[in-house]
Amino acid sequence: MWQTYGHDWATALLQQALDTQRLSHAYLITGPAHIGKATLAREFAAALNCTGQTPPCGECRSCRLAHDDSHPDILVVQAQEHVLKIDQIRSLQHDLALSPYEGRYRVCLLIDLHLATDEAENALLKTLEEPASRVVLVLTATDASLLLPTVVSRCQVLALRGVPEQRIVQALTERWHVQPDRAQLLARLAGGRIGWAITAAQDENALAYRGQALDDLLQAVIGGRLARLKLAESLGSLERDELIELSSLWQTWWRDVLYANQGCDELVVNLDRTSALRSLAGQLRPAQLTAACNSVDRLREQLGHNVTARLALEDMLLNWPLATV
Ligand SMILES: [Zn+2]
Of the candidate ranges 22-26, 208-212, 262-266, 305-309, the one whose mean pLDDT is the lowest = 305-309
Q: Write the DSSP assignment of 198-264 as a string of letters.
A: HHHHH-HHHHHHHHHHHHHHHHHHHS-HHHHHHHHHHHTTS-HHHHHHHHHHHHHHHHHHHHHHTT-
Q: Give the pLDDT of residue 304.
A: 82
- Residue 316 pLDDT grade (very low, low, confident, very high; cuts 50, 70, 90): very high
Is residue 78 classed as helix, strand or coil in its secondary structure?
strand
Instruction: Tell me the CA–centroid distance for residue 113 and ligand 1, in Å.
Output: 27
What would the pLDDT profile of 178-208 be if each residue is shown by its tens digit?
999 999 999 999 999 999 999 999 998 888 9
Average pLDDT for residues 282-304, to the nearest whole number? 95
Distance (Å, whole) CA 76 – CA 111 = 7
- Residue 265 pLDDT grade (very low, low, confident, very high; cuts 50, 70, 90): very high
Instruction: Tell me the CA–centroid distance for residue 1 and ligand 1, in Å.
Output: 9
Fold classified for 8-159: Rossmann fold (3.40.50)
One fold for 8-159 and 203-317: no
Mean pLDDT, the chain, integer: 93
Distance (Å, whole) CA 254 – CA 189 = 14
Domain extent listing, the chain = 8-159, 203-317
The alpha carbon dihedral of 78, 88, 61, 14 has a sign of positive
In CATH terms, is domain 203-317 a member of 3.40.50?
Answer: no
Instruction: Tell me the CA–centroid distance for residue 47 and ligand 1, in Å.
Output: 6
Q: Give the pLDDT of residue 259.
A: 96
Instruction: Tell me the CA–centroid distance for residue 256 and ligand 1, in Å.
Output: 45
Instruction: Tell me the CA–centroid distance for residue 325 and ligand 1, in Å.
Output: 55
In angstroms, how far apart are the furthest CA atoms of the chain? 69
Q: What is the pTM of this model?
A: 0.82
Share of the chain above pLDDT 70, in %: 100
Instruction: Tell me the CA–centroid distance for residue 59 and ligand 1, in Å.
Output: 5
| Alpha-carbon distances of 273 from 23, 105, 171, 185, 265, rounded to whole Å | 49, 50, 24, 10, 12
Q: Check pLDDT > 80 for residue 99.
A: no
The alpha carbon dihedral of 158, 164, 169, 174 has a sign of negative
H or E segment to which residue 111 belongs: strand 106-111
Tell me which residue of 64, 41, 40 sits closest to 52, measured CA to CA: 64
